[in-house]
Amino acid sequence: MKYTDHSGRPAPADRQRVIVDRARSIAEEEGWNAVTVRRLADAIGYSQPVLYQHFPEGRSAIVAAVSRTGFADLREALSAVPRQSGAAALAAAAHSYVGYAGEHPALYEAMFEMRSHTRFASDETPHELQIAFSALADLLLDRSETRVRTELFWSALHGIATLERDGRLPLAQREARIAELARLFS
């Protein structure tokens, strides 16, 4: 592991990050059913009570922490989109978003589908989620107070990502789907 003390276990200051990184890794490799507090404790070489010191609410708090890393990564993916304008910018962002969801299915599941303590559209919304949402709002030039337009665009992206993942929308039509979505929102 990257952050270890002299015994090879995570240093106390790095435990929370190591727990989150290891949970994310196990979930991506084996699915969320394989992520338990006991399994994480064994994986990082500490007892379960040590994990509960960092995450008193247990697994759901760990899932929420993992989801925050996903929102930060999603923001980075959206920021990496070449600067364009109009429909081209929205299509590029949509491709980035849907591609990210497809490349990180367990992480995406933690971000949007699993029970966690993450609150959307509230004063308690984590910073990582706020900046990812703001990245989309900026692309849409959505300066409204409610940002309903951004919510609708994000909802459409989420629907595409989820339905494609589940095999309910053919991947062969992704390009046409994204082009039409970009056209509708540009």
CATH number at residue 141: 1.10.357.10
The verdict on 69 and 51 lying in the same domain is: no
CA 53 – CA 40 distance, rounded (Å): 13
DSSP 3: S
Count: domains in the chain: 2
Its sign, for the CA torsion 20, 66, 33, 102, is negative
The verdict on 21 and 101 lying in the same domain is: no
The verdict on 171 and 114 lying in the same domain is: yes
pLDDT at residue 80, as a whole number = 85
The verdict on 143 and 108 lying in the same domain is: yes
The verdict on 93 and 138 lying in the same domain is: yes
The verdict on 104 and 172 lying in the same domain is: yes
Tell me the pTM: 0.85
CA 127 – CA 10 distance, rounded (Å): 26
Which CA distances in Å does 138 have to 50, 114, 141, 164, 174? 41, 27, 5, 26, 23
pLDDT tens-place values along the chain, 186 residues long: 445 555 666 677 788 999 999 999 999 999 999 999 999 999 988 899 999 999 999 999 999 999 999 999 999 998 888 777 789 999 999 999 999 999 999 999 999 988 766 677 777 788 888 888 998 999 899 999 999 999 999 999 999 999 999 999 999 999 999 999 999 999
- 147 lies in some domain: yes
The verdict on 76 and 113 lying in the same domain is: yes
Domain with 37, as residue range(s), is 12-56
The verdict on 34 and 112 lying in the same domain is: no
Beta strands in the chain (DSSP E): none
Q: Which two tokens stand for residue 16?
A: 């929370």
- 25 lies in some domain: yes
| 3-class secondary structure, 150 | helix
Rg (CA), the chain: 18
- 6 lies in some domain: no
- 153 lies in some domain: yes
Cα–Cα nearest to 128, from 33, 32, 20: 20
CATH number of the domain that residue 31 is part of:
1.10.10
Is the separation of the CB atoms in 105 and 165 below 8 Å?
A: yes
The verdict on 32 and 72 lying in the same domain is: no
pLDDT at residue 85, as a whole number = 77
CA 55 – CA 70 distance, rounded (Å): 18
